[in-house]
């Protein structure tokens, strides 16, 4: 319990610092300080800073997936399920600035590329989202494009929009979110 507790404190502190200040602004000592633990303690839970960063990413990813899958309309029509994905994703990220900023930092770094490579060429345990895309392609609901292009068409704009919302460049409301997700749907559907 203790162990998990500290680990969590460390992760939270690092997440916040990286999100707000970038990797540069998150030295281990500062993370430890913010977490209220000794600097050396971090190394009990993570082999080194890279491992810590990757650990945080996994956690964030898991949370996002969990959010998306909550109330997921398993048996609804394809469009409804995609709209669910999109709106929940935007609602989640737009209200989780730290997670979003962190993820963006992560994606552009040696980490990001490796992680993406792993994901695409890796053992490929089927996840529910990929499956849904696959299904939509097979049912000829989606354009006959490679999976990763469809991913880009559907998710990239949403993440960008969340970032702009967080940075105060736009002001999302539910209607705007639905319109935007709808636009992404238009991009992928036949």
d(CA 142, CA 64): 24
Considering the complex, state which of residue 49 and residue 107 has its C-beta at the smaller distance from DNA.
49
Of 22 and 73, which CB lies nearer to a copy of itself in the complex structure? 22
List the x/- string, 92-131, binding to a copy of itself by CB under 8 A: ------------xx-xxxx--x--xx--x-----------
> Which of DNA, a copy of itself, none does 117 bind, CB closer than 5 to 8 A by kind?
a copy of itself
Rg (CA), the chain: 18
Q: Which does 44 bind (CB under 5 to 8 A by kind): a copy of itself, DNA, none?
A: DNA
Neighbours of 60 (CB within 10 A): 20
- Distance, in Å, from the CA atom of 146 to the CA atom of 39, rounded to the nearest integer, reads 46
Question: Residue 160 corresponds to which tokens in the numbers above?
Answer: 């960008």
CA–CA gap between residue 152 and residue 148 (Å, rounded) = 6
Name which of a copy of itself, DNA, none residue 49 binds, using a CB cut-off of 5 to 8 Å depending on partner kind. Answer: DNA
Nearest to 35 by CA among 16, 52, 49: 16
12 binds a copy of itself (CB under 8 A): no
36: left (phi over 0), alpha (psi -120 to 50) or beta: left
Footprint on this chain of DNA (rule: CB under 7 A): 2-3, 6, 24, 26-30, 32, 36-41, 43-45, 48-50
Residues 6+ apart with CB under 8 A from 177: 86, 87, 90, 91
Residue 51 interacts with a copy of itself (CB under 8 A): yes or no = no
Interaction partner, residue 188 (a copy of itself, DNA, none; CB < 5-8 Å by kind): a copy of itself
Which H or E element spans position 72? none
Toward DNA, which CB reaches closer, 50 or 80?
50
Taking the C-alpha atoms of residue 122 and residue 119, their distance in angstroms, rounded to an integer, is 5
Among DNA, a copy of itself, none, the one that 179 touches (CB under a kind-dependent 5 to 8 A) is: a copy of itself
Residues that bind a copy of itself (CB under 8 A): 21-25, 104-105, 107-110, 113, 116-117, 120, 143, 145-146, 148-149, 152-153, 156-157, 159-161, 164, 167, 169-170, 176, 179-180, 183-184, 186-189
């Amino acid at each position: 319990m203790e162990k998990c507790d500290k680990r969590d404190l460390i992760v939270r502190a690092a997440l916040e610092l990286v999100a707000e200040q970038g990797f540069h602004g998150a030295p281990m000592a500062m993370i430890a300080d913010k977490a209220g633990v000794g600097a050396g303690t971090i190394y009990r839970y993570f082999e080194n800073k890279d491992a810590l960063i990757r650990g945080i990413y996994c956690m964030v990813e898991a949370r996002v997936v969990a959010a998306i899958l909550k109330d997921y309309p398993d048996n609804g029509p394809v469009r409804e399920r995609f709209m669910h994905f999109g709106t929940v994703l935007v609602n989640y990220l737009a209200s989780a600035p730290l997670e979003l900023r962190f993820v963006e930092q992560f994606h552009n770094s040696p980490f990001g590329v490796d992680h993406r490579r792993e994901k695409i060429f890796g053992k490929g345990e089927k996840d529910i989202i990929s499956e849904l895309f696959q299904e939509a392609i097979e049912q000829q609901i989606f354009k006959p494009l490679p999976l990763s292009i469809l991913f880009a068409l559907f998710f990239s704009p949403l993440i960008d929009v969340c970032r702009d919302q967080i940075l105060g460049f736009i002001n999302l409301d539910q209607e705007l979110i639905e319109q935007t997700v709808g636009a992404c749907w238009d991009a992928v559907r036949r």
